[in-house]
Amino acid sequence: MKRVLRIAAVATAAALAALFVAMFLGTTDKGAAAPSSAQAGKWCAGKKIVFFPGGPAGGVFAVNVYNGAKQAAKDLGVNVQYEWSNWDPATMVSQFKAATAMKPTGIAVMGHPGDAALGKWITQAEGKGIIVTSQNTELPKAFAKYQAKGFGYVGQNLYNSGLLLGKSAVAQLHLKKGDRAMVWGLLSQPTRGLRTKGVIDALKKAGLKVDYIEINTATNADPTAGTPVFTAYVTSHPDVKLVVTDHGGLTATAQTYLTAAHKKPGQIKIAGFDMSPATVKAITGGWTQLVLDQQEWLQGYLPILQTCLTSVYKFAGLYIDTGSGIINKANIGPLIPLINKEIR
């Protein structure tokens, strides 16, 4: 973990340094002149990027990613088209193929479909000179193959993030061997599911009894659709002590789930991923105990920056781990204004 964090810090520093060079030195590998004073700071003007915020439009997590991408587009002067997918991997693949046909400067894609589903199409895009990079979910084979051409990653180390949340839940919530936990996740998705697996492994290693529920398609797109699933599980497992929601939208809906199941704040401990205004209320109200913050705004901003750095200055892909740590009622205070603005 320490090594990954060091790499992430170096990568982030490299990105910022590159941005400084781009904004103030203003030269390209072809020796092009610096931008005019009227275009100061718009060193990526004229480039076109297709960007995947995840979806649905305006949904928890995706809106923060979108806000970060919008800010990058404004700062850098790049033209960005957004593709919303309702977190559906098949939709992402279809949208990626359509984006390739448009021949943009670059495509910044969510990695949820995995290398097997996207690999052929990434190769096709790279063959057309399109810069491809990824966010939120790693595509390790594509990264290894195309990093020199600008394929980077902005997001968490998924398995380690799952481990961290699982271990933190056991320690901070004083769970013990034999306690029952439910993990609501996405094991069916080849790489995205590694975070769910990390949570399960951590809980099982601590001796907890773990039940697993796959997030279905309807709940993946609209978390409120999972309310009957939650209430049915709680009714049939009255001894459950912990529920881990491996999805920002579900984490934001924790209070709704618990209320529907006629549970009081803290009666069932909730741990999950990603901050949102609804999650702030749940934490401060005692409904949700722990959240791993992966700073999703950066997962919008930095892939746009990555693509511009590669297109204009020929930088290779950067690996940036945005997982920042555990947020709870004791430390959330300073972040609340920024979370409510959908930046943190």
Q: Place domain 2-156+296-322 in its CATH homologous superfamily.
A: Response regulator (3.40.50.2300)
Q: Do 239 and 232 meet the contact criterion of CB atoms below 8 Å apart?
A: no
The 10 Å Cβ neighbour count of residue 293 is 20
Domain 2-156+296-322 and domain 158-293 have a common topology: yes
Class for the domain spanning 158-293: alpha beta
The whole-number pLDDT of residue 177 equals 98
Could you list the beta-strand ranges (E) of the chain.
Answer: 48-54, 79-84, 106-110, 131-136, 153-155, 180-185, 209-214, 240-245, 269-273, 290-293, 319-321, 325-327
Residue 336 has pLDDT above 80, yes or no: yes
Beta-bridge partner residues of 210:
181
List, for residues 37-81, the tens digit of each pLDDT value.
334 469 999 999 999 999 999 999 999 999 999 999 999 999 999
The whole-number pLDDT of residue 31 equals 36
**Residue-range domain boundaries for the chain:** 2-156+296-322, 158-293
Residue 23 has pLDDT above 50, yes or no: no
Residue 26 has pLDDT above 90, yes or no: no
CB neighbours of 77 closer than 8 A, spacing ≥ 6? 39, 41, 42, 43, 44, 45, 46
pTM value is 0.85
List, for residues 242-295, the tens digit of each pLDDT value.
999 999 999 999 999 999 999 999 999 999 999 999 999 999 999 999 999 999
Beta-bridge partner residues of 108:
51, 133
Burial class of residue 222 in the structure, from the number of CB atoms within 10 Å of its CB (0-12 exposed, 13-18 middle, 19+ buried): middle
Task: Calculate the average pLDDT of the chain.
Answer: 90
- 270 is written with which tokens? 């909730």
The whole-number pLDDT of residue 41 equals 60
